[in-house]
Structure 1
Amino acid sequence: MARTIAKDHDQKRAQILKSAARVFAREGFDRASMTQLARECGISKANIYHYYDSKDAILFDILETYLRELRDLICGIEMDGLSAAERLHKVVAEILLAYQGVDDEHRVQTSGMSALPEDQQKLLRSYQRDMVEFLSGIIAEIAPDVFRGDAVKLRSATMSVFGMLNWYYMWNSGAGSDAREEYARMVSDLTLHGVPGL
């Protein structure tokens, strides 16, 4: 007879992913063990194997869940009636707010993705690419004459914005919503007007 799924299966799975992200961020994926992960989760090693058969499977689930949910959130932002500049600010602010409370997942994304098989990396990179293309479309709309026919320049500008956002957690970990909104405004203004526009 097949084993039934517990009512709190999804909640326990989410707890495992959150705890494992903390361990992977602190110890590094290669040095972390299933024993450490189980201890951090407050469950037995046998119990963690009920949910995942390996730490590789946990790593993939952390990153797949994190990046897919982030992609769906960012690419699904409602922006009807907003100018391109207002769209930029809204997207930049939503990205920073979405990063709140997921510093561990962000670190794991940066350091751990290369440990996964190429097909899994390809899927995860597709989520990242969707977000890059979404933001890139807004930036191109702001200055169409600057970027027309120059995909390299557009990509460089887009990745520069992501660069400012992606390293925020390193020097301002634990920042609240107001601080993130303020920094988002600065990134938007810097992107739109340069330093004199600040």
Structure 2
Amino acid sequence: MARTIAKDHDQKRAHILKVAAQVFAAEGFDRASMTVLAKACGISKANIYHYYSGKDALLFDVLDSYLRALRDRICGLALDGLSPEAQLRALLREILLAYQGADDEHRVQSSAISALPQSEQAVLRGYQREMVAVMKTVVAANAPEVFDADAMRLHEVTMSVFGMLNWYYMWQSEADAQARLRYADVVTDLVLGGIAGQTL
């Protein structure tokens, strides 16, 4: 007879993922063991194996859950009807708000994705590429005369925008929503000012 799924299965799984992200971020993926992870989660080692076959599977689920939700939020943002500048401002604000409370997942993404098999890395990098594509479209719309003929420059500016956003979690991890919105506007103004300089 198949084992029934407990009513709180999803809640426990979400708890394991959040704690695992904290452990992987603090200890490093290589140094974290299933024993350490189970203890940090407040469950037995046997119980954590009920949810995950090993720490590789757990790492993939941490990153897949995080990046898929981030992709859905960013790529699903309603931008139609907004001016190019308003689109950029709205997109940067949404990204920084989405990053709030996800510093551990962000660190794990940066440090441990390469520990996964290539097939799983491809899934995760696919989410990243989709978000980059949205950013490229919005950035390009602010200066088509610059970027339509220079794909490399568009890529460089787009990744520079992500660079400014992604470093924020390292030095303003406790920032509240208002601070994040303010910084998003700072980045927007820097990007628009920089683009304007390239069109002169």
TM-score band, normalised by shorter chain? over 0.9
| CA displacement, residues 75-110 of structure 1 (integer Å, 9 cap, x when unaligned) | 001122210100001000000000000100000000
> Which residue matches 2:45?
45
Mapping for residues 112-123 of structure 1, pairs under 5 Å: 112-123=112-123
Deviation at 1:148, TM superposition (A): 1.4
CA–CA distance in 2 between the matches of 1:11 and 1:54? 19
Corresponding residue number in structure 2 for 1:5: 5
1:102-131: CA deviations, max 9, x gaps?
Answer: 100000000010000000001100000000
What code does the residue aligned with 2:190 have?
L
Does 2:26 match 1:36? no
Q: Aligned equivalents of 1:172 and 1:14: distance in 2?
A: 25
The one-letter code sitting in structure 2 at the alignment partner of 1:49 is: Y
Aligned twin of 1:19: 19
RMSD: 1.4
How far did residue 3 of structure 1 move? 0.4
Once the two structures are superposed, the pairs formed by residues 179-190 of structure 1 within 5 Å of their partners are: 179-190=179-190
Task: Give the counterpart letter for 1:125 in structure 2.
Answer: R
Contact 2:88 2:138 in 1 (8 A): yes
- Indicate the percent of aligned positions where both proteins have the same amino acid: 65
When normalised by structure 1's length, the TM-score is: 0.97
Show the counterpart of 2:55.
55
CA distance in 2, matches of 1:181, 1:117: 36
After superposition, give the CA deviation of every residue in 1:18-67 in whole Å (9 maximum; x if it has no partner): 00000000000000010111111111110000000100000000000100
Q: Which runs of 5+ in 2 are unaligned?
A: none
Measure how far apart 1:146 and its partner are.
0.5
**Normalising to structure 2: TM-score of the pair?**
0.96
Deviation of 1:174 (Å): 1.1
Distance 1:189 1:84 in 2: 13
CA gap 1:176/1:195 in 2 versus in 1, 3 angstroms: farther
Unpaired runs of 5+ residues, structure 1, are none
Q: Which amino acid aligns with 2:186?
A: M
- How many Å apart are 1:151 and its aligned residue? 1.1
Write out aligned runs for 1:1-198 (5 A): 1-194=1-194
Alignment partner of 2:31: what SS? coil
For residue 196 of structure 1, report the CA deviation from its aligned partner: 10
Q: Provide the C-alpha distance between the structure 2 equivalents of 1:196 and 1:121, rounded to a whole number of angstroms.
A: 37
Q: CA deviation at 1:195?
A: 11
